[in-house]
Structure 1
Amino acid sequence: MRIVVKFGGTSLGSGERIERAATSVARAVEQGHEVAIVASAMGNTTDELLDDIVYDADESDRAEIVSMGERTAVRMFKGALSAHDVDAEFYEPGHEDWPIITDEFGEVDIDETTRRTHALAGTMRDEVPIVTGFLAEDHAGNVTTLGRGGSDTTAVMLGKYMDADEVVIVTDVEGVMTGDPSVVEGARNVGEISVDELRNLSFRGAEVVAPSALSYKDSGLGVRVLHYQHDDLLTGGTTIQGEFQRLIDLQEDRLSCLTVAGRAVRNRPGILSELSTALSDEGINVEAVSSGMDSITFYVRQADVETAETVLHDCVVDTDTLSSVTVTDSVAVIRITGGELPDQPGAVNRVIDPIADARINLIDVITSATSISIMVPWDDREQALNLVQDAH
């Protein structure tokens, strides 16, 4: 089995923890597995280095300075593996076989990185490669970085291009939890989670796997999150399933939008829950929701609109700070989904600008971490769909 293991800063935060990590790697190697390591900076080294840059350093100098945390970590890890009689080699920018190359725009050069990573994978039969996480190198040999959480990106990227069976993210959390264990009682590990679910959680503050890393995961690559105190790298933690799919979909059902206006939208806690619950109690599925300062809009199937309007009107009548409910029928929704959307500047504009240029009314645009939903008049749906498809 070929695995890439990323050790986060916490798991390398002391000599004792590095020794623990090295022991787990040595055990996997003894069992006959091919292992590559991605090492983050030890503890909070990167943050401390950044805090110490109090002068106006240019990007190249900053990259060189912050790289020292990872450069130290790979040397420490190699020493620990050598103490276990495991052959290892560390790789950092400047090494002749360094794998991760960026172009003039700071983006990963996929072709060159794939070629170099394949070559690095060929060494895994004889040694454990230890790669600095977070760092890259441009074609001129300058140190660049992969951004915040870049060590996760390094690991999943290498796993993909090394044709690894699995990437293991070793961190200071026990996989993905049902809730924050420091806040809620009884939080437990989620054994499995989809890549879409995790990416949405990541963009909303769940610090498990960096969102940028998940775009490199494909269906054939296993990714697992494991606590650093779990000594067996091959078991436990949370498995991340699936891969991102780029889909452009026109929903077949006509929708209606119901807009509830009133001061309660911003001044009364729980108003969204109350309105949603009222619709749910009548068996009405809400397809999408958008909100403004003084309004909430619910999108439901047009077949349900009369019941939905009655339900929401009753809520308006019963609540002094809600003013009215209005309805617009014959709405179409086009959905674009894809894990790479958050990493593409201007992704929303590329979708909506052609529609606006065609003088099609945009009723609403709703975005999430991995999707864009566009609401247009029903009669314009086919033209809008074609414009979106051409834009992608």
Structure 2
Amino acid sequence: MRFLVQKFGGTSLVTQELRELVASRIIAAADEGYLPVVVVSAIGRAGEPYATDTLLNFVLSIHRDLPAREMDMLMSCGEIISGVAMVNTLQGMGRQAVLLNGAQAGIITDGNHNDARIIRVDPQNIIKYAELGKIVVVAGFQGISEQGEITTLGRGGSDTTAAALGVALNAECVDIYTDVEGIMTADPRIVEDARILDTVTYNEICQLAHEGAKVIHPRAVEIAMQKNIPLRVRSTFSGTPGTLVTSHHEVYGTIDITRDRLASGVTHIAGVTQFKINLPDLAVDEPARRIFTALALADISVDFINVSPETIMFTVKDEMAAKAVAVLENLGIKPQLKPNCAKVSTVGAGMTGVPGVMARIVQALSEEGIKILQSADSHTTIWVLVEKEDMYKAIRALHRKFELGHKEKDQQL
């Protein structure tokens, strides 16, 4: 059975005209011999009548303290509404369709309300309806715990639903339809000549997504990668092929996609505060253990961690900085703070084992007079911390240095 999972975001489902456009893409896939399994998000965004945030705001206006269990029951409604609308649209265009909620689709999760993880998927119900010739529409973002409780999958939950179904059904591909035409080398609002990437690896897009790119959720990529199910990020509103996300063993044409391209993209996270703690100044035993344990117990997420015998450095989100300072001062530690910083990430599978990549980054930023406050690296990513006022300039400089723009040599061909 040739399954194709197609996920459509809420902006693709707002009007009947758009729903008919979505239905035409589903029908086209069916006519090509695929068995489409369609995952839908809630319709629209906050303020629009059926958006999840609109439903939440209505209930929270009654009383702010809504239990997590009941919140999940409410939040699961938006996708069911859009799923019913999608089924009826397909019916009106002459195709038989059926809607399954998360439980009916066999998505079994842990019991963590509002941010559940998928434990397993039993696709038998989907297969049964597909064998009957029906297009299966699945409400995204939701599942059911082993105790029978409705759960939701947290941010990017519909992407996660689509990827999990793709793996369970051994789908030929998972298409993630959005309002952009693919994954870009940088934010086009910052870099004028940013372009769409034809192909990226799973590792690259995970890094891009973790470091600020919002086209697809990294959890979905990690799930698809387990079984090497190709993902495509495409636009609902155009016929362009979008971006293919696949393993590093795949080729584009006849050329290994990672061979000639050092970097695939530059992304960023703004609004972070750098903490610096000089260890020789402390009269505290096991300072690193005590610092990070206390922050964890206070539910403060830390990032960009550098630990040496002399210094501990890390970042937290600006809005958590005051809380982190209070935790540290309770330990008798006074950190040095640098607020209003930005983390800029250069991502590329092709940089693994290649000498001189950091030299390029340092050169690009020094030529623009940008001070690097902190740096770190992995086999696919180099991160630098800069002042927020230098963020845009840093992104453009790195994009230019690694020749990622339209006007530069296209290293993928």
Bin the TM-score by the shorter chain: 0.5 to 0.7
Alignment partner, residue 12 of structure 1: 13
Q: Distance in 2 between matches of 1:202 and 1:369?
A: 16
- 1:236 aligns to 2:241 (yes or no): yes
Deviation per residue, 1:59-114 (Å, 9 max, x gap): 111111111210100000000110121111100146xx33101134543222xx2x
Deviation per residue, 1:345-386 (Å, 9 max, x gap): xxxxxxxxxxxxxxxxxxxx9676999xxxxxxxxxxxxxxx
SS in 2 for 1:163: coil
Check conservation: 1:203, 1:369, Cα contact below 8 A: no
Q: Distance in 2 between matches of 1:89 and 1:135?
A: 17
- 1:32 aligns to 2:25 (yes or no): no
The within-5 A match list for 1:44-59 is 44=45, 45-52=51-58, 53-54=60-61, 55-59=64-68
Q: Distance in 1 between matches of 2:206 and 2:22?
A: 27
Return the match for 2:123 from 106, 109, 117.
Answer: 117
Check conservation: 1:135, 1:146, Cα contact below 8 A: yes
Alignment partner, residue 172 of structure 2: 165
- Superposition TM-score, scaled by structure 1 size: 0.60
Shift of 1:9: 0.8
Q: Distance in 2 between matches of 1:68 and 1:87?
A: 23
Q: Distance in 2 between matches of 1:368 and 1:49?
A: 41
Q: Distance in 2 between matches of 1:369 and 1:92?
A: 40
The one-letter code of the counterpart of 2:149 is N
The one-letter code of the counterpart of 2:134 is E
Note closer, same or farther for the CA distance 1:134–1:227 as it changes in structure 2 (3 Å cut): same
Shift of 1:182: 2.6
SS in 2 for 1:215: helix
SS in 1 for 2:171: coil
Shift of 1:29: 1.2
Shift of 1:34: 0.9
Q: Distance in 2 between matches of 1:132 and 1:285?
A: 44
- List gaps (5 residues or longer) in structure 1: 245-256, 273-282, 290-297, 299-314, 323-364, 372-392
Check conservation: 1:118, 1:162, Cα contact below 8 A: no
SS in 1 for 2:223: coil
Check conservation: 2:105, 2:125, Cα contact below 8 A: no
Q: Distance in 1 between matches of 2:221 and 2:74?
A: 27
Note closer, same or farther for the CA distance 1:25–1:286 as it changes in structure 2 (3 Å cut): closer
Equivalent residue pairs, number: 265
Note closer, same or farther for the CA distance 1:180–1:86 as it changes in structure 2 (3 Å cut): same
Return the match for 2:84 from 75, 79, 102.
Answer: 75
Shift of 1:177: 1.2
Q: CA RMSD in A?
A: 3.8
Return the match for 1:107 from 117, 121, 141.
Answer: 117
Q: Whose Rg is larger?
A: 1
Shift of 1:128: 1.1
Shift of 1:51: 3.1
Alignment partner, residue 204 of structure 1: 211
Return the match for 2:230 from 222, 227, 231.
Answer: 222
Return the match for 1:191 from 181, 194, 198.
Answer: 198
Check conservation: 1:78, 1:130, Cα contact below 8 A: yes
Q: Distance in 1 between matches of 2:357 and 2:180?
A: 35
Q: Distance in 2 between matches of 1:144 and 1:26?
A: 30
Runs of 4+ in 1 over 6 A off after TM superposition: 367-371
- Superposition TM-score, scaled by structure 2 size: 0.57
The one-letter code of the counterpart of 1:108 is I
- 1:90 aligns to 2:96 (yes or no): no
The one-letter code of the counterpart of 2:140 is G
Alignment partner, residue 149 of structure 1: 156
Deviation per residue, 1:171-228 (Å, 9 max, x gap): 0111011222233223221100111111111112111111111111135311000011
- List gaps (5 residues or longer) in structure 2: 46-50, 250-307, 312-336, 345-354, 382-413
Q: Distance in 2 between matches of 1:220 and 1:76?
A: 32
Deviation per residue, 1:5-31 (Å, 9 max, x gap): 000011112221111101111122123
